[in-house]
Amino acid sequence: MDLHEKASSSKPGGTTRPVQVGSVSIGGGPFHVIAGPCAVESPGLLLETARAVRDSGASLLRGGIFKLRTDPSSFQGMGRAGLEELKAMKGELGLPLVTEVTDPRHLEAMLEVVDMLQVGSRNMFNYPLLSEVGKTGRPVLLKRGFSARVEEWLLAAEYIRKEGNENIVLCERGIRTFETATRNTLDLASVAWIKAREPYPVLVDPSHGTGLRELVPPMALAAAAAGADGLLVEVHPRPGEALSDGRQSLDPAEFARLMDRLSALLAALGRSPLGKS
Binding site for a second copy (CB under 8 A): 3-4, 6, 68-73, 102-105, 122-123, 125-128, 145-147, 149-152, 155, 158-159, 162, 175-182, 185-193, 195-196, 209-210, 212, 214-215, 218-219, 221-227, 261, 264-265, 267-269
Q: How far is the CB of 193 from a second copy (least distance, A)?
A: 5
Residues 6+ apart with CB under 8 A from 38: 63, 64, 67, 207, 234, 236, 242, 244, 245, 249
- Residue (187 or 234) nearer to a second copy, CB: 187
CB of 23 to a second copy, least distance (A): 28
Phi, psi dihedral angles at 116 (to 5 degrees): -140, 130
Of 22, 59, 7, 62, nearest in space to 199 by CA:
7
Query: Is the CA virtual torsion 256, 99, 183, 152 positive or negative?
Result: negative
Min separation Cβ 141 and a second copy, Å: 18
User: What is the CA 172 to chain-centroid distance, rounded?
Assistant: 8
Shortest distance, position 42 Cβ to a second copy, whole Å? 23
Q: Which residue number, 108 or 178, has a Cβ lying nearer to a second copy? A: 178
Rg (CA), the chain: 17
Nearer to a second copy, 91 or 178 (CB): 178
Nearer to a second copy, 162 or 238 (CB): 162
| Distance separating alpha carbons of residues 170 and 228, to the nearest angstrom | 10
Residue closer to a second copy (CB basis): 1 or 91: 1
Q: How far is the CB of 247 from a second copy (least distance, A)?
A: 14
